[in-house]
Structure 1
Amino acid sequence: MLITLATIYVINTVVALITVLREPRDISATWAWILVLTLIPVVGFIIYSFAGRKLSHRRLFAYQDQDTTAMRQHIADLMTQTESLNRDIDPHQNESVASVRQGRSLVTLFQNINQTALATKNHVKIFTAGQDLFEQMKADLRAAQESINIEFYTFYADELGSEILDILVDRAKAGVAVHVIYDALGSFGTTKKFFKPLEEAGGHAGPFLKRRLTLIDFQLNFRDHRKMVVIDGEVGYVGGFNIGDQYLGRDKKFGHWRDTHLRLTGSAVYFLQAHLILDWNASAPKNQIPVTEPCYFPKLKAENQGHSNLQIVTSGPESDDEQIKMGYIRLIQLAKERCWIQTPYLIPDDSTFDALRIAANSGVDVRIMVPCMPDHPFVYRATQYYASQLAKYGVKVYYYDNGFLHAKTVVVDNHLASVGSANFDFRSFKLNFEVNAFLYDSKLAQELSRDFENDLKSATEQTVVDFANQGRWLTFKQYIARLLAPIL
């Protein structure tokens, strides 16, 4: 009997090594999967089949092989017509100039690894309450005349989702070109039937990269975690909110939902639109959006122009550049006085962890705010582990007590900031399709700082002593979660 069990275990270990090592991946993720497959024979392989497989080459090629030359040239021409980004920043925008100067290396980084230009002449409004955000969004959707493109990780078939769908159906009947992309797992429970009225009205909806929740096709990884809206090519939204009642605080489990989202007008909307079109065309090859149609990329109107500078940055498993993670690291490196972060999941890789530790040890006021409650218990234990480790190096850690904190924001000094869909974790850095707006604007940075300070009134600092006084069982769970952090 013992010989049989030993033989099975040896075979399991050999197969585990072959399975994990045959595909290139981060070394920490490699060891984490070897641990799972060897310590949990058979069951580990079932888990791996859902969470460890790479994105198929077919889907990667569908995304990577799109020719973006015409669209990029069209955007460049439009921006040139409105004193765009290849020219000097308006010298009268003194505060914006100072922000761009401090972040010039960040601008260059994204130009090189994400091919995204610095978008000037933007007006940006920050939303932190779902009620305010969705009232404004619904008003903008109702006013659409030409096109609506929507992409959300979560589009629930609940009260809010139905309200927005009704608006989309109405606009589609009026001749507006409507396209909706959703993530099949993130929108679990929302079926194709829900979007049937939109299809019948002439609109279109479908899952990202045609990934439905079938047993053969099911994967936990490589989710479309982006949250974007573009209306008439003039109004854009990007941030952390999804479409669903819980984001309005209607879920008793989470209570008040604290998030951050941006409403944009100006040249940055061109870049949001470009990414939405790329995502749609990769997901619906038989129903392509024309990449240079005027209704999707109209000339920038004077009333839509502002004074804010920003870059729209995307990242995902189709590239090894980890663009948003690199942006986070560069932001932290640029901090001279303070770096304030809000994230629901704090599971940094070694490079991000070291950047935070170096900043704190260099005298930068590094503060990180995370939720006081989990939405994914095992992931939350990993968050607590890394929070306890960062506290040892002088990072101030806060638990947000007034509901659930879902915002993904970074504020550096009084000039730079980031708002988007990407968390501070392995999943957002390497596995998910994400989008962030990196802001070069002192007024916006200061507004986000005030929001952080206001949240501190409903938060509790967790000191080294607090973490040391945790129960042994909780500490044990945190250490176990940490071992599997690269694959959570």
Structure 2
Amino acid sequence: MKKLRGLLRIIFGRTTFLVLFLLIQFGVLMAGFNWLREYMIYVYGGSSLLSAVVLIYIISNDENSSIKLSWVVPILIIPVFGTLFYLFLKLQPGVKLINRRIQYLAKEVEPFLIQDPEVMEDYKSISSSEGNLARYMNRYGKFPVYKNTSVEYFPLGDDMYPKMLEELKKAEKFIFMEYFIVERGLMWNSILEVLEQKAKEGVEVRFMYDGMCSLALLPYSYPKTLRARGIKCKMFSPVKPALSSYQNNRDHRKICVIDGHTGFTGGVNLADEYINKKERFGHWKDTAVMLKGDAVASFTMMFLQLWGVTEMEKEDYGRFLVPKDYRLPEGADSTGFVMPYADSPLDGENVGEQVYLDILGHAKRYVHIMTPYLILDDVTLTALKYAAKRGVETIIIMPHIPDKLYAYLLARTYYEELLRAGVKIYEYTPGFIHAKMFISDDEKAVVGTINLDYRSLYLHFECAAYLYKNTTVLTVEEDFQATLGMCQPVTVEECRRYSPLKRFAGKALRLFAPLM
């Protein structure tokens, strides 16, 4: 009976109807294509001309070459349908309107993200080349570099979870939370209990999660449930039964801000596998950081910018800044610099990728990387190989037990090429790596939400914290070395022994890599 109820839930569930409606729309497009084929004699010339114009536009467009290729191939193979489908997705006004709204909000928060000139001078005095990165982030990302910020690193979600609960219980004015995945269980239920209690105490609680959760993890009406408990809640980009390129731009960020002075980010979502209370793919290795002090202002403004996309009332941003009388906890280490930053898929500036490329380009001794996915464009692939070829120890830790088979097969297609260039690749044998980290030369580290794949670098809203000359960098590197001790190396010989069928499947998937 229980299995029958589960089957009926799947058959009549919202996800099934969503997929059905999407298939119907795709079918209508195919029917239109077949109709055009019947009149191909009359429309052949026009369609060929249109395809040529579209191809010229794609090739000359300021976009990643791999993404261009993913459109050029179908347009050349099935010109009419490929061209119409491209135009259908690219000419939707919704994406342009949302981007316009986000850009407007970016202008609104800009006065609250002004670079302190003294901090910048200190930053540049240590390293002129690092000053170049900061200037780029100031100009194109609008994110300042901060001092007066302490950083605590968590090598597992298991470690972050109790600390987050502790800090949430201390909230006096407001709590902002923004997450990609939320699933009911021990972790989320205990956090929700605190949020509900804080709302009763008069603390302003805002909670936002990505609309993909509504497909399988949460009811579509879940925001109403939380609002009834005093929590301001919304889904970012609810999934709707309509073919739209905007629905590909998910909110992959993980942000928690408390009273303007304490913030969390990293790879940890709000579900039990992230704290190893539920086993899905062996041991779940994830990481996070807690910031206290001036740098939290950037995370506050990141949250308010996306929150405001669907809000009509003007926000009083100033009341959410770090309190002027706030002092770091006694004994807190605030050495070095911290630069929180976000990346938007709609602004044409690939901030997340540029930070990674900057680290690879300036590394002198080593670059150590943890990532769950390895789906690379030519630029990042070349940067990784070049770092190794010029003598920089370049190590990537990947999962041994993947969560997505297609992503793992695709990642393995890059292994042999990277290994031949001198990049070292290890797999985490206890289970799944979900951490997204770069560490270099005992000087700099990035901990955040940005994977080494197209979706993170080009399609999702993301965020991270960049640490420079901060003592926490050494803690992050110590964890990397400890994790390396639980990994097995991948060799060129092992790559060549890998199943020919799986190797072929991975190479075939490379055609669709920009969509993964």
Q: TM-score, normalised by structure 1?
A: 0.87
Q: How many residues align?
A: 469
**Separation in 2, partners of 1:362, 1:465:** 23
On the 8 A contact 2:180/2:209 being kept in 1, the answer is yes
**Separation in 2, partners of 1:362, 1:165:** 50
**Separation in 2, partners of 1:16, 1:276:** 41
CA 1:115–1:286: 2 relative to 1, 3 Å = closer
Letter in 2 for 1:315: D
Within the candidate set 122, 127, 147, 1:88 is matched to 122
Q: Could you say which residue in structure 1 is the equivalent of 2:463?
A: 435
1:62 aligns with 2:101: yes
Deviations 1:165-211 (A, max 9, x none): 22111111111111111111156422354343431243211112xx2
Q: Could you say which residue in structure 1 is the equivalent of 2:111?
A: 73
On the 8 A contact 1:337/1:365 being kept in 2, the answer is yes
1:299 aligns with 2:319: no
Shift of 1:45: 10
Deviations 1:451-485 (A, max 9, x none): 11111121111111111111211110121122221
CA 1:74–1:39: 2 relative to 1, 3 Å = closer
After TM superposition, list the pairs within 5 Å mapping 1:28-47 onto structure 2. Answer: 28-36=66-74
Q: Could you say which residue in structure 2 is the equivalent of 1:322?
A: 350
Q: Which runs of 5+ in 2 are unaligned?
A: 1-33
1:360 aligns with 2:394: no
Shift of 1:384: 1.0
Q: Could you say which residue in structure 2 is the equivalent of 1:370?
A: 398
**Separation in 2, partners of 1:461, 1:53:** 46
1:286 aligns with 2:304: no
Does the residue aligned with 1:303 lie in a helix, a strand or coil?
coil
Within the candidate set 191, 206, 225, 1:179 is matched to 206
Does the residue aligned with 2:202 lie in a helix, a strand or coil?
coil
Q: Could you say which residue in structure 1 is the equivalent of 2:171?
A: 144
After TM superposition, list the pairs within 5 Å mapping 1:121-136 onto structure 2. Answer: 121-136=148-163
Does the residue aligned with 1:120 lie in a helix, a strand or coil?
coil
Shift of 1:255: 2.7
Letter in 1 for 2:171: A
Shift of 1:297: 3.8
Letter in 2 for 1:291: Y
Does the residue aligned with 1:32 lie in a helix, a strand or coil?
helix
Deviations 1:102-146 (A, max 9, x none): 633322221222122111111101112222211111111111110
On the 8 A contact 1:280/1:288 being kept in 2, the answer is no
Q: Which moved more, 1:251-260 or 1:417-426?
A: 251-260
On the 8 A contact 2:375/2:454 being kept in 1, the answer is yes
**Separation in 2, partners of 1:469, 1:223:** 37
CA 1:433–1:309: 2 relative to 1, 3 Å = same
**Separation in 1, partners of 2:381, 2:157:** 31
**Separation in 2, partners of 1:115, 1:385:** 36
Q: Could you say which residue in structure 1 is the equivalent of 2:4?
A: none
Does the residue aligned with 1:251 lie in a helix, a strand or coil?
coil
After TM superposition, list the pairs within 5 Å mapping 1:3-402 onto structure 2. Answer: 7=37, 24=61, 25-36=63-74, 56-66=95-105, 68-69=107-108, 71-74=109-112, 76=114, 85-86=119-120, 88=122, 103-186=130-213, 188=215, 189-208=217-236, 211-216=237-242, 221-282=248-309, 284-286=310-312, 289-293=315-319, 295-299=320-324, 301-304=326-329, 306-402=334-430
On the 8 A contact 1:317/1:431 being kept in 2, the answer is yes
**Separation in 2, partners of 1:53, 1:226:** 27
Shift of 1:37: 6.7
Deviations 1:273-306 (A, max 9, x none): 1111111111x3135542112x444226222572
Deviations 1:223-280 (A, max 9, x none): 1111111000010011111111111223333132101110000111011111111111
RMSD between superposed Cα atoms in Å: 3.2
1:451 aligns with 2:479: yes
On the 8 A contact 1:234/1:300 being kept in 2, the answer is no
Shift of 1:487: 1.8
**Separation in 1, partners of 2:433, 2:89:** 26
Identity across aligned pairs (percent)?
27
Shift of 1:84: 6.1
Letter in 2 for 1:477: A
Shift of 1:386: 1.4
**Separation in 2, partners of 1:186, 1:393:** 40
**Separation in 2, partners of 1:333, 1:42:** 42
CA 1:360–1:251: 2 relative to 1, 3 Å = same
**Separation in 2, partners of 1:376, 1:207:** 25
Does the residue aligned with 1:417 lie in a helix, a strand or coil?
strand
Deviations 1:393-416 (A, max 9, x none): 110011111111011100111101
**Separation in 1, partners of 2:36, 2:412:** 37
**Separation in 2, partners of 1:138, 1:43:** 52
CA 1:52–1:72: 2 relative to 1, 3 Å = closer
Letter in 1 for 2:142: Q
Structure with bigger gyration radius: 2
Letter in 1 for 2:96: H
Letter in 1 for 2:275: L
Give the number of the structure with larger relative contact order, counting CA–CA contacts within 8 Å between residues 6 or more apart.
1
**Separation in 2, partners of 1:303, 1:47:** 54
Does the residue aligned with 2:340 lie in a helix, a strand or coil?
strand
CA 1:47–1:191: 2 relative to 1, 3 Å = farther
**Separation in 1, partners of 2:488, 2:225:** 47
**Separation in 1, partners of 2:142, 2:434:** 28
Deviations 1:292-341 (A, max 9, x none): 12x44422622257224111121112211101101110110110010111
Q: Which runs of 5+ in 1 are unaligned?
A: 90-95
Shift of 1:34: 4.4
On the 8 A contact 1:106/1:331 being kept in 2, the answer is no
Q: From the two aligned structures, give the one with the greater helix fraction.
A: 2
Q: Could you say which residue in structure 2 is the equivalent of 1:93?
A: none
CA 1:6–1:338: 2 relative to 1, 3 Å = same
CA 1:39–1:172: 2 relative to 1, 3 Å = farther
Does the residue aligned with 2:147 lie in a helix, a strand or coil?
strand
Does the residue aligned with 1:299 lie in a helix, a strand or coil?
coil
CA 1:281–1:458: 2 relative to 1, 3 Å = same
Shift of 1:88: 3.4
Does the residue aligned with 1:156 lie in a helix, a strand or coil?
coil
Q: Which moved more, 1:20-29 or 1:471-480?
A: 20-29
